[in-house]
Amino acid sequence: MADHGLRERKKRATRQLISNVASGLFIERGFEEVTVAEIAEAAGVSKMTVFNYFPRKEDLFLDRHADRLAELVSVVRTRSAGVSPVAALRAHQHSLVASGHPLSGAIAGGPGFWWVLTSSPALMARWFEQEREIAEAFAEVFVAETGDAFRSRVVAGLLTTAITSVFSHAMGRIVAGDDADVVRREQVAFIDQAFDLVEHGVGGFPGGSG
């Protein structure tokens, strides 16, 4: 019943072990070049057990998704009265950058992650799927608040686009070799640019007032 009996601790440890071993192998040699059987063996566990903890091979690498999703939803759902989702998420992105959080994208350790991710179509597909899940989660919150399903889904999609754009922009620069501190400093402006586009519209882009 307790949530930290020997059983639970072992499970957590096993899960962590598998994830660590897998990430290590992926970053060393690439996603497609490592088989699940190999991961299982390296972790001293059976193939079935790997799939027990991580239903798809991709989840071995993208296992922070649940946390990220929960955090983003929480930012929107628990925002103060009078604060719009755009404002809340904008502030959240700023704080990620300020605190040097990995999900800001502007983090020195990123290249390995990014390389593994982008060099595997399967992994990219899963990544996009996760972005989609974020959008759906936002939409749910908005529908609950407003009852307007269509508008909720559109706005949710737009917000998600802003978030993913700023993340991948920072990551792209890091991978291109830019200094992490520089990127982090300049990222502030890009965040505002993206959220401004969502908040105030793209207008006649490209062109004049846009």
Binding residues for a copy of itself (CB under 8 A): 84-87, 124-126, 128-129, 132, 142, 145-146, 148, 150-151, 153-155, 157-162, 164-165, 169, 190, 193-194, 197-207, 210
Whether the CA torsion 175, 179, 180, 183 is positive or negative: it is: negative
User: How far is the C-alpha of 127 from the C-alpha of 146, rounded, in Å?
Assistant: 29
Reduced to 3 states (helix: H, G, I; strand: E, B; else coil), residue 169 is helix
CB of 179 to a copy of itself, least distance (A): 18
- What are the C-alpha distances in Å from 15 to residues 23, 43, 76, 126, 130? 12, 10, 30, 20, 21
The item of a copy of itself, DNA, none sharing an interface with residue 23, based on CB under 5 to 8 Å by kind, is: none
User: How far is the C-alpha of 89 from the C-alpha of 3, rounded, in Å?
Assistant: 32
CB of 15 to a copy of itself, least distance (A): 23
CB of 135 to DNA, least distance (A): 23
The set of residues, in sequence order, having a beta carbon less than 8 Å from that of 102 and lying 6+ positions away, is: 109, 110
Judged by beta carbon, residue 35 or residue 193, the one nearer a copy of itself is 193
User: How far is the C-alpha of 25 from the C-alpha of 60, rounded, in Å?
Assistant: 11
Judged by beta carbon, residue 48 or residue 81, the one nearer a copy of itself is 81
The item of DNA, a copy of itself, none sharing an interface with residue 91, based on CB under 5 to 8 Å by kind, is: none
Whether the CA torsion 165, 168, 173, 174 is positive or negative: it is: positive
Q: What number of residues does the chain have?
A: 210
Q: Using CB under 7 A as the criterion, which residues of the chain lie in contact with DNA when the complex forms?
A: 1-2, 5-8, 10-11, 14, 34-37, 44-49, 51-53, 55-58
CB of 18 to a copy of itself, least distance (A): 23
The item of DNA, a copy of itself, none sharing an interface with residue 150, based on CB under 5 to 8 Å by kind, is: a copy of itself
Count CB atoms within 10 A of the CB of residue 195.
22
The item of DNA, a copy of itself, none sharing an interface with residue 14, based on CB under 5 to 8 Å by kind, is: DNA
The item of a copy of itself, DNA, none sharing an interface with residue 45, based on CB under 5 to 8 Å by kind, is: DNA
Reduced to 3 states (helix: H, G, I; strand: E, B; else coil), residue 62 is coil
The item of DNA, a copy of itself, none sharing an interface with residue 42, based on CB under 5 to 8 Å by kind, is: none
Judged by beta carbon, residue 5 or residue 128, the one nearer a copy of itself is 128
